[in-house]
Chain A
Amino acid sequence: QVQLQESGPGLVKPSQTLSLTCTVSGGSIKSGGYYWSWIRQHPGKGLEWIGYIYYTGSTSYNPSLKSRLSISADTSKNQFSLNLSPATAADTAVYYCGRFVWSPNKYYFDFWGQGTLVTVSS
C-alpha cells in the first residue's frame, strides 16, 4: 500500500517561499506510469491542481501558478517537493500530495497524503 506524507512549515510569511516535501513509502517514485502531484484546497473551498513531476524530472504546472512554482524530486530519498515563491495570503490552504495514475484508460489520483495546512501570514 502506497503512503504519502506531507511535511513542512505550517506558517509562512508573505513574500517568503512556501516549501513542502512529500515522502512516499510502499512504492518508488521511480516507477513509471505515475505523476507525483501537489493539490491544494483553500479553506472551505474546492480542489486545485498545482502541478506534478514524473520520475524523469519532467514537470507540468498549473498555468495560474507557473511563474511562482517549482516542483522537484529526490529519488534517492523517495521524496518530491514544492516551492512556491513569493507566497501570498491567497496561498493559505491545505496542501495535499498525491499519486496520479497515468496509463491507458487510467488517469486519476489513487493515493493522497493526509494534507497539511499552510497559513501565509506575518
Chain B
Amino acid sequence: EIVLTQSPGTLSLSPGERATLSCRASQSVSSSFLAWYQQKPGQAPRLLIYGASTRATGIPDRFTGSGSGADFTLTINSLEPEDFAVYYCQQYGSSQPITFGQGTRLEIK
C-alpha cells in the first residue's frame, strides 16, 4: 500500500497570502494517478486537481497542482475566505488500494 504523508498538518495563513501544501508518497506515483480534494465541514470532498496538475471543471486558477515521482504540491495563490478548509491528496494504483493523505487543515490566521 502506498502511504501518502501530507504536510504541514495545519497551516495558518491570512486571506491574500499563498498556501503551499505538500503530499509525499512512500513510493513513486504516476502523475496521472494523483488528485487533490477540498473538504469543508459537513460536506463531501470536492475534486480540485487530477493528474497532479489539471484543474477540475470550475476550479479557479488560483489553485495549482505540481510535482512528480513521490513529491506533489498544491499551491493556492491569493487565498480567499472560502479556501479555508481541509485538503487531501489521493492516489490510485492499478494493483494497489486507493489511498488518501491524512489531510492538511488550512485555517485563518
Contact = CB atoms under 8 A, between A and B. Distances in A.
15 contacts: A46-B102, A46-B103, A47-B100, A49-B98, A62-B97, A63-B1, A105-B32, A106-B51, A107-B50, A108-B56, A108-B90, A109-B37, A110-B47, A112-B45, A113-B44
A114 interface: yes
Given A47-B88, A63-B1, A107 B35 contact: yes
A46 B47 contact: no
Contacts, number: 59
A109 B101 contact: no
Interface of A: 37, 46-49, 60, 62-63, 96, 98, 100-102, 104-110, 112-115
Contacts of B44: 96, 98, 112-115
Interface of B: 1, 32-33, 35, 37, 43-47, 50-51, 56, 88, 90, 92, 97-103
Given A46-B100, A46-B101, A48-B100, A108 B45 contact: no
Contacts of B100: 46-49
A46 B88 contact: yes
Nearest to A65: B97
Contacts of A113: 44
A108 B35 contact: yes
B42 to A, nearest CB: 9
B92 A107 contact: yes
A30 B86 CA distance: 33
Given A96-B44, A102-B92, 13 more contacts: A46-B103, A47-B45, A47-B100, A47-B103, A106-B32, A106-B50, A107-B33, A109-B35, A109-B37, A109-B45, A110-B47, A112-B45, A112-B46
